[in-house]
Amino acid sequence: MAARATLVNLGESDVELSVLLTDDSTVTELNRTYRGVDKTTDVLSFSQREGENADDWDNILGDVIISVEQAQRQADEYGHSVAREVGFLTVHGVLHLLGWDHENPEDEGRMMAKTEEVLHSLGLTREAP
């Protein structure tokens, strides 16, 4: 639901993507293989709109991969539900697929605001249990 809500919110409803909910081990392996970082992370995004074959995939955005184990730890740390955390990570991953980059200070604020807007539309507010 969070992926679809993000796409609709941004007027990108005619695209496809995949979302994989998995464990730390799988995310660590993908992180090591594709980013050279030998540790788990919460979310990875693999865009089909970048690279040498990008033109072949006009309506396919790519893949969002979320470690549910990491999401659980973060939900506990932040004091909100796992549903909110997975929603947050999903929106975050989709924004990356659309080219948003939080490494840019201007995009960081935009990403947080858009994420909260989408989560609020789904009833996944900060106060969610």
Structure tokens at 26: 């799988």
* Of 35-39, 40-44, 105-109, 114-118, the least confident: 105-109
Question: Which H, E and C letters describe 35-92, residue by residue?
Answer: HCCCCCCCEEEEECCCCCCHHHHCCEEEEEEEEHHHHHHHHHHHCCCHHHHHHHHHHH
All structural domains of the chain with their residue ranges? 2-121
DSSP three-state, residue 10: coil
The CATH code belonging to domain 2-121 is: 3.40.390.30
pLDDT attached to residue 104: 78
pTM for the full predicted model = 0.91
Structure tokens at 34: 């594709």
Of all residues in the chain, what percent carry a pLDDT higher than 90?
A: 74
Q: Is the pLDDT of residue 66 over 90?
A: yes
Structure tokens at 119: 């989560």
pLDDT attached to residue 57: 62
Q: Which residues of 67-85 are buried (b: 16+ CB within 10 A; e: fewer)?
A: bbbbbebbbeeeebeebbb
Across 32-54, average pLDDT: 88
Closest-CA residue to 2 (of 81, 57, 83, 58): 83
In terms of pLDDT, which residue wins out, 56 or 28? Answer: 28
Across 69-85, average pLDDT: 96
pLDDT attached to residue 38: 96
How high is the mean pLDDT of the chain?
Answer: 91
pLDDT attached to residue 122: 95
Across 28-49, average pLDDT: 94
Phi-psi category of 64—alpha, beta or left, where left has phi over 0 and alpha has psi -120 to 50?
beta
Alpha-carbon distances, residue 43 vs 14, 80, 121 (angstroms): 23, 18, 21
Across 122-129, average pLDDT: 73
pLDDT attached to residue 43: 97
